[in-house]
Amino acid sequence: IAESDIVDKVEPDLEKEEGFKKIGKVQISVIRGILEETQGDEERFCKHIGVDRLEDICNRDYPTCLKELEQTEKTTRTVSKRIRS
């Protein structure tokens, strides 16, 4: 049987596999930096996104985490502006 005769030849979906890998040190540092700026609680944030620790976040979920943090950051700024006024 020749390789071209194989009907169910399955090539790995590298993009999908990459999405399931855990985020790296740089992404973790970014998240921690935003949490510090917004006086966020790392444990609470992890619980909110459904992981035990930041190191457990998958690459595919990283953009969603950033959006969550950006929303928190905007809310924090708005509240701070109102308090100062």
- Note the pLDDT tens digit of each residue in 49-85: 999 999 999 999 999 999 999 988 777 777 666 777 6
Per the document, the length of the chain is 85
Q: Which residues on adjacent β-strands are paired with residue 58?
A: 22
Tell me the whole-structure pTM to 2 decimals.
0.71
The DSSP output letter for 53 is: S
pLDDT tens digit sequence for 2-55? 555 555 555 667 667 777 899 999 999 999 999 998 889 999 999 999 999 999
Q: Give me the pLDDT at residue 4, please.
A: 56
